[in-house]
A and B are shown apart, each in its own frame.
Chain A
Amino acid sequence: MAKPVTHPPGGHDQPRVATPLVELKNIWKVFAGVPVLKGINLNLMPGEIHALLGGNGSGKSTTMKILSGVYIPERGDIFLGGERQVFHSPNEAHKNGIYMVPQEPHIFPHLSVEENLTLGLSMDAGEARERISRLAQEIGFESSLSTEAGSLSIANQQLLEIIRGLLRKAQILILDEPTSALTFREVENLFKRMRTLSQRGIGIFFISHRLNEVMAISQRVSVLREGHIVLSAPTSEVNSGMLVQAMLPEDADVREVEKRARDAKGHATGEVVLDVQHLSSDAFQDVSFQVRAGEVVGLAGLVGAGRTEVAEAVVGLDPNARGGVVIKGREAKKHDSRKRQSLGLVYVPEDRHAHGIFLELPSLYTMTATILDRLGRYLLSHKLEEGVGDSYRQQLSIKMNSLYQIAKTLSGGNQQKVVLSKALASKPDVIILDEPTRGVDASARQDVYQLIQRLAEAGVGILLISSELEEIVDLSDRILVMYQGRIIQETERTDVSLQQIMAAAFGLQGEASL
């Protein structure tokens, strides 16, 4: 399949002659020296529903935050109705008719609906009430104005936000993944309302991870990848397969990664060390999988698909989880992470600053935190502790001045290695690694990859959670893909296809080949 052509900004595929409500021209944004937006061109016509698609970290949220005044771009211009504008704050964007409805509505839960709507509004109370009731009727908002906002459903909280925007005369609405917490019926109602607004000439940017929704509601779709717009076309001219294709790296790269995966020598795998059976909780349902000794199992999917929640439930951190977890043939019944660790299961969490490391303390204290009971009979033996520290420092080539260097003064990669030392110190049989290379520099990243390989060769079972497709394909013997709380695809290394994994992550199981 040929790659869809990237349309130049202001191309001639737009039949209408009206001026765009807003035009973003050559927008650049850099975070900590790393460019995340590399010349974004995007526009929105009156009454247009414009869908934005892209994997995690592709830049869609950053682009929308620039449009709504949360971030200021390093380079590039925003034209509103043909006039150049710079927004320094969300308020300035509001005043110019741009309103963003965030994924989690920013309501005041203890205030009433009416108070939520009129707060900070410079408008006569009578006039405000009249306009609210008109808007509420138009958009089909049925809750009483005196209800406490916190008691509304998420769908109605979103409507509240939308009305709040319209009350401020918004012409451009940005809906950031509005459907992720809605029921099927609520989604349909939301779409009906979006169409009503579109007929009134209001332009809507719609961010979603669900391709079927994008196909159903939008008139135009733009795909972002690594800070570029890689595809922008009328929705009627594309299909889901093309959108998935656009989100993948260049064809040649895809082929090379896939070839590497097929040619790689698989790990010799032994008995099942982790057996998860029909695990369910708030964020996921009926998850079952096995990890064998010496096997690397990749868990792919988008942020929010429920991967981290599964990991937390498996290690015993979620008291609401139901289902079976068997570690080396022994069933772990209680939700007790210490117990499961003693059975041989350790977890290296995604957010190491929050959950994995003692930032203000000497690095050694993190490395030995879970094995203190083994370091000396009654009192702590510093000799034993330093011995353990030194051995991991060498094994993982951790760069530090001394074992006692304060952890927060280490680089991201070395911090991650300290966290890994802690995990390894308890001599586990299964390790769950959640995004182990996030925020880690390139050389340390290679060290982490090598470590994963070495551990697998030594017979440790590994569950690798990662949002980076290439990383997961390169390292895993088997790949599971999660979508909205379920495992919807399982692939062996030998017949891996990036396109299928991407399609599954976006909920297109079996449809991708269409």
Chain B
Amino acid sequence: MNRIWRSRELLVFLLLIALLLAVGLINPNFWQTRSLMHILNSSLILILVSIGEMFVILTRGIDVSVGAILGLSAVILGVALNAGMALPLAVFLALTVSVLAGMVNAVGVTFLRVPPIIMTLGTLGVYRGLMLIITGGSWIETIPTNIKFFANWHIMGVRFFIWVTLIIVIITSLVLRKFKRARYLYAVGDNEEGARLMDIPVRKTLFAAYTLAGLFAGIAAVIFVAQIGFVPMQAGNGQELRAIAADVLGGVNLAGGVGTPLSALVGAIFLTAVDSALVFLKVPGYWNNAVGGAILLAAVYLDYRVRRAVAAQQRQARAAVRHENNQLNTPSSKEQT
């Protein structure tokens, strides 16, 4: 059972290949490098949001405000650029807002001890509300084109943002593997009581997780504005649910303690590929949500079944120990001691 967990990313990756092959058989255009690159390019935002969400799920929490943080940061970036702020400064401002938004969640969860789902459901509303308050409800258009340049900038034939995202995935993977403190994320989600007894700073770890979720939503917002070139009020709508789905699909355990950035990467690409596949299969766009939702259900159900199977296995192993124990420890064998 444990081996399945370890290779869950691989499993989803193989499923992804199978999906691509199947769709390609029906519509060979799907196999072109161009359309595969297109899938990758359109999954960047989801990949980043999913990695941020992963930090929180690792600690056994949940953050449903990441989509709203994405939208809010995008609005800040758009407004700042339209106000004539220099690009680097505007990006910095947007990222700062996303970090602050994440910190608000972190304060709620760690210091005020609000359950994560309630805290982030609350801030989901607040951040979406702020978007409307700042813009008065109208879309932000006519954003200076200098930011769009980055979306089309190719380095060695590959888009700049794909490089950026891949580098972020590699860095977070290395940090999570190599840094002692990063391990706390796993420990807290795996056994919070145990972590406390081991002198692990549980609150600081939770704080970091929610803050990072905000930051990653902010980075996603920058790519969003660059790729689309305007900010609709629905920006980031529903991204939190897609991110959770992508994580679970890629092997992040909702009960905490298990998952890697690779899980988020593979899961996010898979979900995006499904959307593209539907286009290539000439399925009307209305189907996207329904199919995405069905995949989420299937993934969560699978997650649940695997966990139950593992638990049942452990329970049986324990019962076996007790039976053996009783057979050996009956009064007749007591003379041995």
Residues B326 and A486 in contact, CB atoms below 8 Å apart: yes
Residues B186 and A108 in contact, CB atoms below 8 Å apart: yes
Residues B190 and A108 in contact, CB atoms below 8 Å apart: yes
The minimal Cβ–Cβ distance linking B213 to chain A, given in whole angstroms, is: 21
A15 at the interface (CB under 8 A from B): no
CB-defined contacts of A282 to chain B, threshold 8 Å:
315, 318-319, 322
CB-defined contacts of B334 to chain A, threshold 8 Å:
212
Residues A184 and B329 in contact, CB atoms below 8 Å apart: yes
CA distance A108 to B195 in the complex (A): 8
Residues A119 and B321 in contact, CB atoms below 8 Å apart: no
B228 at the interface (CB under 8 A from A): no
CA distance A153 to B318 in the complex (A): 8
CA distance A184 to B2 in the complex (A): 28
Q: Which of B141-149, B164-172, B197-205 contacts A (4 or more CB under 8 A)?
A: B197-205
B136 at the interface (CB under 8 A from A): no
Supposing A120-B200, A148-B2, A282-B322 touch, asked if A111 and B183 sit within 8 A by C-beta, the answer is: yes
CB-defined contacts of A108 to chain B, threshold 8 Å:
186-187, 190-191, 194-195, 257
Residues A181 and B257 in contact, CB atoms below 8 Å apart: no
B337 at the interface (CB under 8 A from A): yes
Supposing A120-B198, A120-B200 touch, asked if A182 and B328 sit within 8 A by C-beta, the answer is: no
B325 at the interface (CB under 8 A from A): yes
Closest-by-CB residue of A relative to B334 is A212
Residues B194 and A111 in contact, CB atoms below 8 Å apart: no
CA distance A183 to B327 in the complex (A): 9
Instruction: Place the interface of chain B in its size category.
Output: 35 or more
Interface contacts (Cβ under 8 Å), in number, total 94
Residues B191 and A107 in contact, CB atoms below 8 Å apart: yes
Closest-by-CB residue of A relative to B201 is A120
Give the residues from 69 to 117 in chain A that come closer than 8 angstroms, CB to CB, to chain B: 90-91, 94, 106-111, 115
Residues B325 and A119 in contact, CB atoms below 8 Å apart: no
Instruction: Place the interface of chain A in its size category.
Output: 35 or more
1/0 per position for B111-130, CB-CB distance to A under 8 A? 00000000000000000000
CA distance A124 to B317 in the complex (A): 36
1/0 per position for A206-217, CB-CB distance to B under 8 A? 000000110110
Closest-by-CB residue of B relative to A110 is B257
Supposing A110-B258, A282-B318 touch, asked if A184 and B325 sit within 8 A by C-beta, the answer is: yes
The minimal Cβ–Cβ distance linking B322 to chain A, given in whole angstroms, is: 7
The minimal Cβ–Cβ distance linking B190 to chain A, given in whole angstroms, is: 4
Which residue of A111, A120, A509 has the most chain B CB atoms within 10 A of its CB atom? A120
Supposing A90-B197, A107-B194, A285-B326 touch, asked if A213 and B337 sit within 8 A by C-beta, the answer is: yes
The minimal Cβ–Cβ distance linking A512 to chain B, given in whole angstroms, is: 12
Supposing A285-B323, A485-B326 touch, asked if A119 and B183 sit within 8 A by C-beta, the answer is: yes
Supposing A111-B186, A119-B183 touch, asked if A106 and B193 sit within 8 A by C-beta, the answer is: yes
Closest-by-CB residue of A relative to B190 is A108
Residues B190 and A91 in contact, CB atoms below 8 Å apart: no
CA distance A492 to B194 in the complex (A): 46
The minimal Cβ–Cβ distance linking A42 to chain B, given in whole angstroms, is: 22
The minimal Cβ–Cβ distance linking B308 to chain A, given in whole angstroms, is: 13
A151 at the interface (CB under 8 A from B): yes
Supposing A184-B329, A212-B337, A485-B322 touch, asked if A110 and B199 sit within 8 A by C-beta, the answer is: no
CA distance A100 to B216 in the complex (A): 40
The minimal Cβ–Cβ distance linking B185 to chain A, given in whole angstroms, is: 11
Closest-by-CB residue of B relative to A100 is B197
A308 at the interface (CB under 8 A from B): no
Supposing A213-B337, A282-B315, A509-B331 touch, asked if A181 and B187 sit within 8 A by C-beta, the answer is: no
1/0 per position for A114-134, CB-CB distance to B under 8 A? 010011100000000000000
CA distance A109 to B196 in the complex (A): 15
Residues B191 and A484 in contact, CB atoms below 8 Å apart: no
A510 at the interface (CB under 8 A from B): yes
The minimal Cβ–Cβ distance linking A241 to chain B, given in whole angstroms, is: 15
The minimal Cβ–Cβ distance linking B187 to chain A, given in whole angstroms, is: 5
CB-defined contacts of A115 to chain B, threshold 8 Å:
183, 186
CA distance A118 to B322 in the complex (A): 31
CB-defined contacts of B322 to chain A, threshold 8 Å:
181, 282-283, 485
The minimal Cβ–Cβ distance linking A61 to chain B, given in whole angstroms, is: 16
Residues A183 and B324 in contact, CB atoms below 8 Å apart: yes
The minimal Cβ–Cβ distance linking A286 to chain B, given in whole angstroms, is: 10
Residues B186 and A106 in contact, CB atoms below 8 Å apart: no
A469 at the interface (CB under 8 A from B): no
A154 at the interface (CB under 8 A from B): yes
CA distance A486 to B329 in the complex (A): 12
CA distance A154 to B315 in the complex (A): 11
Closest-by-CB residue of A relative to B194 is A106
CB-defined contacts of B193 to chain A, threshold 8 Å:
106
CA distance A216 to B335 in the complex (A): 11
CB-defined contacts of B333 to chain A, threshold 8 Å:
184
Which residue of A184, A486, A509 has the most chain B CB atoms within 10 A of its CB atom? A184
Closest-by-CB residue of A relative to B188 is A108
Query: Which of B198, B253, B321, B331 interacts with A182 by CB under 8 Å?
Result: B321
Give the residues from 272 to 327 in chain B that come closer than 8 angstroms, CB to CB, to chain A: 314-315, 317-319, 321-326
CA distance A125 to B199 in the complex (A): 18
1/0 per position for B1-20, CB-CB distance to A under 8 A? 01000000000000000000
Supposing A107-B191, A111-B186, A151-B2 touch, asked if A484 and B329 sit within 8 A by C-beta, the answer is: yes
Supposing A107-B194, A108-B187 touch, asked if A183 and B318 sit within 8 A by C-beta, the answer is: no
Closest-by-CB residue of A relative to B319 is A282
Which residue of B2, B324, B328, B331 has the most chain A CB atoms within 10 A of its CB atom? B331
CA distance A183 to B323 in the complex (A): 9
CA distance A213 to B337 in the complex (A): 8
CB-defined contacts of A119 to chain B, threshold 8 Å:
183-184, 187, 195, 198, 200
CA distance A215 to B198 in the complex (A): 33
CA distance A488 to B334 in the complex (A): 15
Residues A111 and B197 in contact, CB atoms below 8 Å apart: no
CB-defined contacts of A110 to chain B, threshold 8 Å:
186, 190, 253, 257-258
Query: Which of A111, A215, A283, A507 interacts with B190 by CB under 8 Å?
Result: A111
Residues B187 and A111 in contact, CB atoms below 8 Å apart: yes
CA distance A153 to B314 in the complex (A): 9
Which residue of B323, B324, B337 has the most chain A CB atoms within 10 A of its CB atom? B337
CA distance A216 to B198 in the complex (A): 32
CA distance A119 to B318 in the complex (A): 26
Supposing A119-B198, A509-B331 touch, asked if A109 and B326 sit within 8 A by C-beta, the answer is: no
CB-defined contacts of B199 to chain A, threshold 8 Å:
91, 94, 120
Residues B323 and A109 in contact, CB atoms below 8 Å apart: no
CB-defined contacts of A90 to chain B, threshold 8 Å:
196-197
Give the residues from 150 to 166 in chain A that come closer than 8 angstroms, CB to CB, to chain B: 150-151, 153-154, 164
CA distance A486 to B327 in the complex (A): 11
Closest-by-CB residue of A relative to B324 is A183
The minimal Cβ–Cβ distance linking B160 to chain A, given in whole angstroms, is: 36
Closest-by-CB residue of B relative to A488 is B331
Residues B258 and A183 in contact, CB atoms below 8 Å apart: no
Supposing A111-B186, A120-B200, A183-B328 touch, asked if A153 and B321 sit within 8 A by C-beta, the answer is: yes
A111-B183, A111-B186, A120-B200 given; name 18 further pairs at CB < 8 Å. A91-B199, A108-B191, A109-B190, A109-B257, A110-B190, A120-B184, A120-B198, A148-B2, A151-B2, A154-B321, A182-B321, A183-B325, A184-B324, A184-B333, A185-B328, A215-B337, A283-B322, A507-B331
> Which 8 A-B pairs rank lowest in CB-CB distance, beginning with the nearest?
A106-B194, A184-B328, A282-B319, A108-B190, A110-B257, A120-B198, A91-B199, A120-B200
Can you list 10 A-B pairs with a CB-CB distance of less than 8 A? A108-B191, A110-B257, A110-B258, A115-B186, A119-B200, A120-B187, A183-B324, A285-B326, A507-B331, A509-B331
